[in-house]
Amino acid sequence: MTKYFIKVTLLVLCLASAAKANVLTEPGLHIALLPIVNETDIQVWESKYYPVDVFPQKVIEEFVTLLREYPYARITVLSPMEGEVWLRGGSVTADIGVRLHVYKLKMTDRKHLGTDRMGYVAIRMEVFEGEGREMLYATSLAGEDRRFTFSPGDDRIFYLADKLDFVQLFPDPKDDDQPMSKPLWSSFRGTPYWNAFKKALAKSRDALFDGITGYHMVGRIISPTKDSLSSSPPNRRRYIVSLGRVEGVKVGDLLSILRSDRYDTVDPERPVVVLPDRGGLVKVISVQNHEAVVEVVRESQENPIKLRDLVIMPLYPSKRR
């Protein structure tokens, strides 16, 4: 059986182009999730009776939950030793490897007429090719969250001996120092600091499954439908495509049509250049296991959609058009 994912030049494989992409030949994406690299001082303890840092574990668990929103994703979480072996070419076989670096964290806790907490997190995500274990790309993403809780207290906060207490209204700047260097997980998970982590991880997930740099399911228009060939065809032409329910297609999905444009150049080293061209849009109206019926939504009048055109679908559902 061929590998689930093959890192190829998409238009060389399908359109004889030089534009790189990752093509899914069978449903299912196997991700090897390497241990995170925490370059900050944050530690989160499980409990006061179990003073062990569980911060890396909680970040991995949250990221795995986000990745599994794609129903066909298979994630293997690697231990630190397994991660080192995987990068050298051993350990489990996967389509891609992902490693997260937490390199910046800012937590503030200001007290002005209440509590003003702000968290800022920056994460670097590295994506590795599953076969050669070479880095495909890296990106940095950030998350931020803020929460103000109004808590004026009693009159003593504002007045002492009939005078305004400016000390309480404007506390010492040292109160803005970063709090909770070693918080307990039971309290940390409800703070804006952890929400900032969750937002950064969600952005990392979206970047991984982005329709431009991520993985696509690629199919082809294989036949017109009978009603399209009848004497009274529907208003919009309909076709059968080679993607179906097993591949993750759903009724209502919009699939792009992909073609290529060929250019003759004056460069002797590259006499011919083939560039991708999106030739239209089709909408899924019914689905079988490995096929679907689509109708034309948008196309070029000069170059209409036809048999053998490619259809592409981003792997991550929320990234579909």
- Give the tens place of pLDDT for each residue, 237-287: 999 998 888 777 889 888 888 876 667 888 887 777 766 677 789 999 999
- 107 and 201 assigned to the same domain: yes
Residue 270 C-beta-side C-alpha neighbours within 13 Å: 7
- For the record, the structure tokens of 17 come out as 């182009």
The model carries a pTM of 0.57
- Looking at 144, 173, 208, which one is the last position of a domain? 208
Note whether 305 and 267 are same-domain residues.
Answer: yes
Q: What is the DSSP letter of 88?
A: T
**Run of H or E including 105:** strand 96-110
Residues 180 and 235 in one domain: no
Instruction: Read off the pLDDT of each residue in 142-149 and give the average, rounded to a whole number.
Output: 82
Please report which confidence band the pLDDT of residue 98 belongs to, taking 50, 70 and 90 as the band edges.
very high
Shared domain check, 272 and 243 = yes
pLDDT-based confidence at 27, cuts 50/70/90? low
Residues 106 and 197 in one domain: yes
Overall number of domains in the chain: 2
63, pLDDT greater than 80: yes
Tell me if 48 is assigned to some domain.
Answer: yes
Residues 168 and 293 both lie in one domain: no
The whole-number pLDDT of residue 152 equals 59
Q: Which two tokens stand for residue 72?
A: 């066909």
Residues 225, 289, single domain; the answer is yes
Whole-number Å distance between alpha carbons of 107 and 161: 35
Examine the domain organization and report whether 53 and 192 are in the same domain: yes
Write b or e for each residue in 124-154: b if 16 or more Cβ atoms lie within 10 A of its Cβ, otherwise e. bbbbbbbeebeebeeeebebebeeeeeeeee
CB 242 within 8 A of CB 297: no
Q: Are residues 154 and 278 in the same domain?
A: no
* Residue 239 shares a structural domain with residue 192: no
**Is 54 in the same domain as 185?**
yes
How confident is the model at residue 253, as a pLDDT? 87
Domain span at residue 145 reads 35-60+97-208
**Is the predicted pLDDT of residue 146 greater than 60, yes or no?**
yes
In three-state secondary structure terms, 22 is strand
> Is residue 259 assigned to a domain?
yes
Q: Which pLDDT belongs to residue 285? A: 94
Rounded Cα distance between 256 and 259, Å, is: 10
182 falls within a domain: yes
| pLDDT of amino acid 168 | 47
Q: Say yes or no: 161 and 115 in one domain.
A: yes
